[in-house]
Amino acid sequence: GENVEQHPSTLSVQEGDSAVIKCTYSDSASNYFPWYKQELGKGPQLIIDIRSNVGEKKDQRIAVTLNKTAKHFSLHITETQPEDSAVYFCAALDSNYQLIWGAGTKLIIKP
Amino acid sequence: DGGITQSPKYLFRKEGQNVTLSCEQNLNHDAMYWYRQDPGQGLRLIYYSQIVNDFQKGDIAEGYSVSREKKESFPLTVTSAQKNPTAFYLCASGRDQSTDTQYFGPGTRLTVL
C-alpha cells in the first residue's frame, strides 16, 4: 500500500526567508497530493493541492512541485511571516481513494 | 454559513464508559471520515462512509463504532474496548470519495480520566 514520508519533522526559519517541506510516496498510481496547515488545537485546513497531470502549482506565497518520476512533492513558502507558524501535513491519495498522511512538519518562524 | 461542526470541543470520560462524538456537515457532501491524531503524529483513519447507511473500517477501527443514518451526520462512538482512547479526534467530509479534497472540522479532544 501507499506510504508517505515527510521531512523535516521540525523546520525553523527566519522571518522573510523561504521554507521547503518535502514528501515522498511509494504508490506510482497516486494522483492527488494535498497540503494541509494545522494550527494548535484546530482541524487541518487545505492550503494547496496538486494533481499528477501538472508539475507545479502556485498560490501567492505558496507553491507545490511534483516529480512523478522520483515520486516526491514539495511545499514551498516564500517570504515567511509569523502567521505561517503551524504544523504542515502532506498526503497522497492511494488507489483505494484513501488519503495517506505524512507525519507532519512543525514550522517555526523566528522574528 | 456552510461547514463542518464537531461537538463537544473537549470531552472527559471515565475508564469503562462509552462516549459519542458528534460530527455534522451542511456542505451536502456524500463522503465523511473520522481520524485520530496523537501528539506529534499524523492522522490515522478510523472509519469512513461514502453514502448513507454504509460505512467501512479504516486502519484503526478496533474499539470504535459509527453510524450514518443521515447524510449530514456521522457520529463516532468510542467504546470501552478502545484501550488508549485519549486523543484528538477529527471529522472530515468530501463531495465524494473519488474527488479527493477533504474538509475538516475543528476537532474534539477526548481525555480519559
Please check whether residue A104 touches B, CB under 8 A: yes
Cis peptide before B85 (omega within 30 of 0): no
Up-side HSE of residue A8: CA atoms within 13 Å toward CB? 9
With H, G, I as helix, E, B as strand and everything else as coil, classify residue A110. Answer: strand
Does the pLDDT value for residue B112 go beyond 70?
A: yes
pLDDT confidence of residue A94: 86
The arithmetic mean of pLDDT across residues B83-87, rounded, is: 92
**Could you tell me the three cell numbers for A93?**
491519495
Q: Is B109 on the interface with A (CB under 8 A)?
A: yes
- pLDDT level of residue B99 (50, 70, 90 thresholds): low
Cβ of A99 within 8 Å of Cβ of B102? The answer is yes
Q: Is the pLDDT of residue B1 over 80?
A: no
Residue A46: pLDDT over 90: yes
Element (H, E) at A76: strand A72-77
Q: Choose among A17, A13, A7: nearest CA to A61.
A: A17
DSSP letter at B39 equals: T
Residue B3 region by backbone torsions, left for phi larger than 0, else alpha for psi between -120 and 50, else beta: left
Q: Select from A43, A98, A101 the Cβ nearest to the Cβ of B106.
A: A43
Contact A97 B102 (CB under 8 A): no
Cα A4 to Cα A24, A60, A73, A93, A97, distances in angstroms: 6, 26, 10, 10, 15
Higher confidence at residue A37 or residue A98? Answer: A37
Task: Give the rounded percent of residues in chain B with a pLDDT score beyond 90.
Answer: 78
- B20-66, pLDDT tens digit by residue? 999 999 999 999 999 999 987 889 999 999 999 999 999 999 999 99
Does residue A93 sit at the B interface (CB-CB below 8 Å)? Answer: yes
B11 in A contact zone (CB under 8 Å): no
Chain A residue at shortest CA distance from B91? A43
Which pLDDT score is estimated for B97?
66
Q: What is the mean pLDDT of residues B101-105?
A: 92
For residues B93 and A96, the model is more confident at B93
Burial A50-61 (b: 16+ CB within 10 A, else e): bebeeeeeeeee
Which chain B positions have a beta carbon within 8 Å of A57's beta carbon? Answer: none
Query: Are B101 and A44 in contact (CB < 8 Å)?
Result: no
- Give the up-direction half-sphere exposure of residue A59: CA atoms within 13 A in the CB hemisphere: 8
